[in-house]
A and B are shown apart, each in its own frame.
Chain A
Amino acid sequence: MIRHVFTGRFNRRSFIKASASLAGLAALNTSTSGLALAADKVVKIGFLAPLTGAVAAWGKPGLDGCQIWAERVNAAGGISIGGEGHKVEFVAYDNEYDPAKARTGATKLIREDGVKFIMMLGGDTWPGVEPVADRTGMLFSTLLPSDLSPDTNTLIAPAEVHPIYNVTGVEWLAENRPDLKTAVMCAQDDALGLPSVATYLAAFEAAGIEMLDEPLLFDPATTDFAPVVTRLLSKNPQIVCLDTCYSDYVHPIVEQLFQQGYKGQIISCTADFYDQMIAKTSKEFMEGFIFQFPDFDDPALNGHGVNFDDPNGFYAEYNKRHPGEWGAVSWEYASIMDLWKAAAEKAGSVEPDAVLNAMTGSGKGNHAFGEADWWGKDLFGIDNALVGDWPVVAIENGKARIKGFKSIPDWYGKHGELLKKHMAAYNQMWDQRT
């Protein structure tokens, strides 16, 4: 908002530098109750994601979450490598969701900044970075396992298995609302939208829910969604699925659904800033909206073997610093850092190959929502995706609440062939993409 002008946030670089400096200062000012921090021991982690542009909602909030994570870890003595504390610093590069900029950024982070690990959103930017990863052997993470292929064994998807976890929302819906039997879907025609379309089609077929129409694809440059919604509603569906639409699309689509008189069930991968959607529609309209990303003040996160340190406290701190900015990725990059930290400490090294071996060697890992398996050979050609349980979230009385945790491997064990069939139909299998 315009108030940013008065709070001195004049450019993203100064913002990032200031955040990193604050993190460093916070670390230096903390009591050394844990490990003694060696003043000259710093581990740099690269953050290569869109911080500006249309996809910034899945980059920038993640960096904000990482700064909180770094402060917490540094305050507790940093990362213990060979019994010595190492401070963590994040070095960010805005790739603007552009493959060429992502490639430049990856090169800079490795050569100039000396990072030991690079976190990415992935998607359309991964092809630009892949040659750098292959040449340098740098360890990269992506939020989108559809980037995985056997061509690059140093790319991992440890936080989320987009879009595979979307099956859990449909499965939960089929179990809890068996009266809903028909659906329609829309999605933007891009690397995020298409694999998600295939996944939802498989999930609906597995649940016995009939698709009334082919998924309606729209250009990512679309601004007026009235024609899209008119088409969706012309089929009289009981479920409208918003696939993995960006929040810039979800909001106007939901508003159009409301204005065009829809009264049925909505399911979506994300519902970032859902309070704004409620403001534009009504609490009643949004009741029961299903998606996949919880608020971290959810009481359900305090049980179920959740491997995220103090999720409620993290959420409170995040909202204190960035009010109204909490979104799907706010915790995800920080969650990846939990895994990386544990692996580095186990390996006694921050070098990419040592960390990767420590992380994936046993075939199991501590995912944010419980113990999980390194998996994916079937779909991605390589077991570099960490897969376990995933939460199903519904909006109840204006607030997101976890309705349950569903097992992705269990679903895949029963319906894997369906998923492969639909992925192949949309050319999303790894051997079709590479």
Chain B
Amino acid sequence: MFELLVQTGLNALYAASYLSLVAVGLVLIFGVMGIINFAHGELFMLGAYAVVAVYSDFQLPFVLAAAVGLVFVGCLGLVMEWSLFRPLKDNPLGGLVASIGFLMIAQALVSMGFGVRMEHVPPVTQEVIVFSDKIRLPVQRLTVIVASVVFLGLLWAFLKKTRFGWALRASAQDPEAAALQGISVRQTARIAMFIGAGLAGIAGALTAPLISVNPHMGHSVIVAAFIVIIVGGVGSLEGAVLASVVYAIVHTFVTTFADGVLADITGLLLMLLVLVIKPTGLFGTADRA
């Protein structure tokens, strides 16, 4: 039983790591721009397809493919900000609808370009850290965990220690006051969109060798990410990270000790419970301001 608990804990740690990258990106975009980006799951998917193209098809190093995933999807975020969200910045519902349109277009383009079948991504490494016969951690999964911690650490340092980061936080707290202080809200929106989309892209890229890569893979990720940001508190980065860990632990343990369908129901019940007890989420405030 002890070994089963430890192995399940390691599984949960991996799930929490990539989910927190996706959720933090989603929160960042909402916090600065007030946009609920429904296409965030597709940004995750596009990060995975960047790996398919660069690493699987062109057989370039995986590190380069992951970097391409981050930059390419980040740049796509800039395009989304310019073409979808900026013209609709005073219309939150319009941004939501536009992002749904984008996700459908992204799925269709990927289906046309790569086909509808799952893609084969060769393993980067088959090394496994063996703690005991029943406790094993594949190096590929450890890489995702470490990379997630590094990227979240870099994001934290950026937001807390740099002028751009301060500007971003100021814009998120009070866009009008930030503008009066000379902060370009448009510039901060671009930065937020690049970082938010890039985090989803790198999450997709890092997990591509470990999951089934297909045009519809973003669906389950976005559902989990929305549960996470509601539990953590919409607009709270710390809440998103903590809620990712809580959700991953609950979902993974229920899957292992009960079944996968019950795990999905439990995740939704967790969200419901938090909304009943604290409607703003664990770290959220009543308003985005």
Do A and B come from the same complex?
A: yes
The reply to whether the CB of A144 lies closer than 8 angstroms to some CB of chain B is no
User: B-side interface residues toward A, CB under 8 Å?
Assistant: 4, 7-8, 11-12, 14-15, 52-53, 56-57, 111-120, 122-123, 126, 128, 130, 133-134, 136, 138, 141, 210-212, 214-217, 219-221, 223, 251-253, 255-257, 259-261, 263-264
In the bound complex, how far is the Cα of B4 from the Cα of A9, in angstroms? 47
When distances are taken between beta carbons in the complex, the residues of chain B under 8 Å from A231 are 255-257
B-facing mask of A1-20, CB < 8 A → 1, else 0?
A: 11111000111100000000
| B169 nearest CB across to chain A (Å) | 32
When distances are taken between beta carbons in the complex, the residues of chain A under 8 Å from B219 are 221
When distances are taken between beta carbons in the complex, the residues of chain A under 8 Å from B12 are 227
| A124 nearest CB across to chain B (Å) | 15
Which chain A residues numbered 394 to 408 have a C-beta less than 8 Å away from chain B?
none
When distances are taken between beta carbons in the complex, the residues of chain B under 8 Å from A228 are 255-256, 260
Q: Which of B11, B113, B214 contacts A54 (CB 8 A)?
A: B214
Q: A261 to B136, Cβ gap below 8 A?
A: yes
Residue of B nearest to A277 (CB): B120
Q: B115 to A4, Cβ gap below 8 A?
A: yes
Q: B212 to A251, Cβ gap below 8 A?
A: yes
Q: B210 to A252, Cβ gap below 8 A?
A: yes
Known: A2-B114, A251-B212, A252-B212. A226 touches B14 (CB 8 A): yes
Known: A2-B52, A4-B115, A230-B8. A53 touches B216 (CB 8 A): yes
Q: Which secondary structure dominates chain B's binding surface?
A: helix
| A273 nearest CB across to chain B (Å) | 7
In the bound complex, how far is the Cα of B128 from the Cα of A217, in angstroms? 27
- Most chain A CB within 10 A, of B116, B128, B220, is at B116
Q: Which of A52, A226, A281 contacts B116 (CB 8 A)?
A: A52
User: A-side interface residues toward B, CB under 8 Å?
Assistant: 1-5, 9-12, 51-54, 56-57, 60, 189, 214, 216-219, 221-224, 226-228, 230-231, 233-234, 247-249, 251-252, 255, 259-261, 273, 276, 279-282, 325
A to B CB contacts below 8 Å, 22 in the list: A2-B52, A4-B113, A4-B114, A4-B115, A52-B111, A53-B216, A57-B117, A57-B118, A217-B260, A226-B141, A227-B11, A227-B12, A228-B255, A228-B260, A231-B257, A234-B134, A247-B118, A249-B212, A252-B210, A280-B123, A282-B126, A325-B117
Q: A234 to B117, Cβ gap below 8 A?
A: no
When distances are taken between beta carbons in the complex, the residues of chain B under 8 Å from A325 are 117
- A4-B115, A218-B260, A226-B15 known; 10 other A-B pairs, CB under 8 Å? A11-B112, A218-B261, A219-B220, A223-B212, A224-B11, A227-B256, A234-B256, A259-B136, A276-B120, A280-B123
Q: Which of B15, B57, B118, B130 contacts A261 (CB 8 A)?
A: B130
In the bound complex, how far is the Cα of B221 from the Cα of A273, in angstroms? 25
Q: Which of B114, B122, B221, B260 contacts A280 (CB 8 A)?
A: B122
Q: B14 to A218, Cβ gap below 8 A?
A: no
Known: A223-B217, A251-B212, A252-B211. A273 touches B115 (CB 8 A): no
Q: B255 to A227, Cβ gap below 8 A?
A: yes
Q: A227 to B252, Cβ gap below 8 A?
A: yes
When distances are taken between beta carbons in the complex, the residues of chain A under 8 Å from B141 are 226
Q: B57 to A219, Cβ gap below 8 A?
A: no
When distances are taken between beta carbons in the complex, the residues of chain A under 8 Å from B56 are 1
In the bound complex, how far is the Cα of B217 from the Cα of A251, in angstroms? 15
When distances are taken between beta carbons in the complex, the residues of chain B under 8 Å from A280 are 122-123
| A19 nearest CB across to chain B (Å) | 15
Q: Which of B57, B116, B217, B223 contacts A3 (CB 8 A)?
A: B57
How many A-B pairs have beta carbons closer than 8 Å: the answer is 134
Q: Which 5 A-B pairs have the closest CB atoms?
A: A218-B260, A227-B255, A221-B220, A248-B212, A56-B116
When distances are taken between beta carbons in the complex, the residues of chain B under 8 Å from A247 are 118
| B119 nearest CB across to chain A (Å) | 7
In the bound complex, how far is the Cα of B259 from the Cα of A217, in angstroms? 6
Q: Which of B112, B133, B136, B214 contacts A9 (CB 8 A)?
A: B112
When distances are taken between beta carbons in the complex, the residues of chain B under 8 Å from A1 are 52, 56-57, 114-115, 119
Q: B120 to A189, Cβ gap below 8 A?
A: no
| A54 nearest CB across to chain B (Å) | 6
| B252 nearest CB across to chain A (Å) | 5
| B167 nearest CB across to chain A (Å) | 36
- Most chain B CB within 10 A, of A2, A3, A12, is at A2
| A237 nearest CB across to chain B (Å) | 13
In the bound complex, how far is the Cα of B112 from the Cα of A51, in angstroms? 12
Q: B7 to A230, Cβ gap below 8 A?
A: yes
Q: B114 to A218, Cβ gap below 8 A?
A: no
Residue of A nearest to B11 (CB): A226
Q: Which of A51, A227, A249, A273 contacts B8 (CB 8 A)?
A: A227
| B267 nearest CB across to chain A (Å) | 10
In the bound complex, how far is the Cα of B216 from the Cα of A247, in angstroms? 14
| A164 nearest CB across to chain B (Å) | 25
Q: Which of B14, B113, B214, B251 contacts A2 (CB 8 A)?
A: B113
Known: A218-B255, A248-B118. A260 touches B136 (CB 8 A): yes
Q: A189 to B261, Cβ gap below 8 A?
A: yes
Q: B221 to A259, Cβ gap below 8 A?
A: no
| B58 nearest CB across to chain A (Å) | 8
Q: A56 to B252, Cβ gap below 8 A?
A: no
Residue of A nearest to B121 (CB): A280
| B193 nearest CB across to chain A (Å) | 25
| A4 nearest CB across to chain B (Å) | 6
When distances are taken between beta carbons in the complex, the residues of chain A under 8 Å from B53 are 2
Q: A259 to B212, Cβ gap below 8 A?
A: no
In the bound complex, how far is the Cα of B218 from the Cα of A54, in angstroms? 12
| A18 nearest CB across to chain B (Å) | 14
In the bound complex, how far is the Cα of B255 from the Cα of A155, in angstroms? 38
Residue of A nearest to B1 (CB): A234
